[in-house]
Structure 1
Amino acid sequence: PAARVVLVERSPEMAGFAHATLAHPGNAHLGDRASVLTADVMLTGKARGEAGLADNSFDFVIMNPPFNAAEDRATPDQLRKQAHVMEDGLFESWIRSAAAVAKPRGGLAVIARPEQLGALLDAIDGRFGDTEMLAVHPRPEAAAIRIVVRATLGARGKLSIRPPLMLHAETGNGPAERTEMINNGLASLFGD
């Protein structure tokens, strides 16, 4: 009940949608616990702070970066392209900002595609540790479609690989039991 969330979005148009969502009567219970900040997380130093992302100010940073390669999402729509296509060096820039704004021993969680694990771990190295990776599979026999990496600022522990998350059972289209529990707040993604 004491948790507060700041959503950060660089696109004013998309930030407007987030503001509208938070203003919806169905979200009244969030009250002053959730806010939207229009800022670019790739800003550095003083510019980042002036945009509202002060150093050492967040207990936990959750990142959902655009993680498609340009050839995967060719589109003339610039807003869609910015939301979906990863720029060169994105993980390095985003993780550098996360390390700056997280409080000492603060947490980080990032979702990405499996083929981006190397670049993501390279960006985390030296900044965050006690890193855990969880692979997300659509079904038990299918390859992972996403990875979630969680780490602690300043920690030095090694990488561990958590049990995978299966979104669906082998048959049917409904969510797997664990996925359903996570969706309903009855379990956590990393099991703690």
Structure 2
Amino acid sequence: MSDTTSAPVAETVDAFHRGLFHVLQPKGRGHRSGMDAMLLAALVDDDRAIKVADLGAGAGAAGLAVASRLANADVVLFERSPEMADYARRSVQLTDNAHVSGRVSVVEADVTLTAKARNDAGLVDESFHHVIMNPPFNDAGDRRTPDALKAEAHAMTDGLFEAWVRTAGAIMIPGGQLSLIARPQSIAEIIDACGRRFGGLEITAIHPREGENAVRILVTAIKGSRARLSLRAPLIMHGEGTHKFSPFVDDLNNGRKAYARR
């Protein structure tokens, strides 16, 4: 007789912001959130009562980081994958997250939906002050992963930025802020996608160390703004010969500071 008992799914509960909140994540598979999510969350600098949409939220790390740092923020985690949406729900429900759970909700929805289908899925027009996103970043030529859950989170398709930014523009109130983190190679697509929807783009390159090429870019933009694009001073993560974060980057990573627009 064969044993039909399936092995338990490996999971971890990971602390962020020095233990101020926790995220339940799959172990050894899927996309695991880390510093990218924390830097993305740091782009929201707003003490008002705000509504924040986290598009493609995964297990919810970035959205939870916003809620953890900003006491007046209500956050909706939008995630297409049923499995990752379940991780997000269970993350919100963790006992260690009780202080923010009342301000964070999860909606299982495809952020590339349009028009009525998008609204019916919960991505309601002009209802958010901030939209944050960490879209899939692997090009078609990148090495494929056998992990289907990770592939879904990382696989970039043609027109992806256009679709995600279109949704961000639709669900955001006029004057609202778009924030995203991406690879430097995507800068042209991001600028094109913002088009006439968003202006006042501020772009910051993130470099591991002085003299090393950028590995990420941080982008913020304002819906309806006609201000010109600004390239900000780069963020250098580490000092020469060390893996220790610079004090400012460490503050961003641990929720002690926001990365305010100029």
1:71 alignment counterpart? 141
2:126 alignment counterpart? 56
Question: Does structure 2 conserve the Cα–Cα contact (< 8 Å) formed by 1:129 and 1:152?
Answer: yes
2:150 alignment counterpart? 80
2:197 alignment counterpart? 127
Question: Does structure 1 conserve the Cα–Cα contact (< 8 Å) formed by 2:127 and 2:173?
Answer: yes
State the alpha-carbon separation in 1 of the partners of residues 242 and 90 from structure 2: 35
Change (3 A) 1:128 1:68: same
2:250 alignment counterpart? 180
2:226 alignment counterpart? 156
Write the letter of the residue equivalent to 1:183: N
The DSSP-based 3-state class of the residue aligned with 2:149 is: helix
State the alpha-carbon separation in 1 of the partners of residues 104 and 240 from structure 2: 37
- Stretch moving more, 69-78 or 159-168: 69-78
Question: Is 1:166 aligned with 2:236?
Answer: yes
The DSSP-based 3-state class of the residue aligned with 1:110 is: strand
State the alpha-carbon separation in 1 of the partners of residues 140 and 192 from structure 2: 21
Compute the displacement of 1:191 (Å).
Answer: 5.9
1:7 alignment counterpart? 77
Unaligned runs of 5+ in 2: 1-70
Compute the displacement of 1:171 (Å).
Answer: 2.2
Write the letter of the residue equivalent to 1:37: V
Percent identity over the alignment is 48
Question: Does structure 2 conserve the Cα–Cα contact (< 8 Å) formed by 1:8 and 1:38?
Answer: yes
Provide the aligned C-alpha RMSD in A: 1.3
Question: Does structure 2 conserve the Cα–Cα contact (< 8 Å) formed by 1:140 and 1:170?
Answer: yes
The DSSP-based 3-state class of the residue aligned with 1:95 is: helix
Higher relative contact order (CA 8 A, sep 6+): 2
Write the letter of the residue equivalent to 1:120: I
State the alpha-carbon separation in 2 of the partners of residues 178 and 190 from structure 1: 12
Question: Does structure 2 conserve the Cα–Cα contact (< 8 Å) formed by 1:7 and 1:35?
Answer: yes
**C-alpha distance after superposition, 1:26-71 (max 9, x if no partner):** 1111021111111011000000000000000100000110011122
Write the letter of the residue equivalent to 1:118: A
The DSSP-based 3-state class of the residue aligned with 2:73 is: coil
Question: Is 1:94 aligned with 2:172?
Answer: no
TM-score by length of 1: 0.95
1:140 to 210, 234, 240: 210
Compute the displacement of 1:173 (Å).
Answer: 1.2
Compute the displacement of 1:127 (Å).
Answer: 0.4
Write the letter of the residue equivalent to 1:175: F
Write the letter of the residue equivalent to 1:51: A
TM-score by length of 2: 0.71
Write the letter of the residue equivalent to 2:134: N
Question: Does structure 1 conserve the Cα–Cα contact (< 8 Å) formed by 2:207 and 2:214?
Answer: yes
The DSSP-based 3-state class of the residue aligned with 1:142 is: coil
- Stretch moving more, 162-171 or 11-20: 162-171
Compute the displacement of 1:184 (Å).
Answer: 2.9
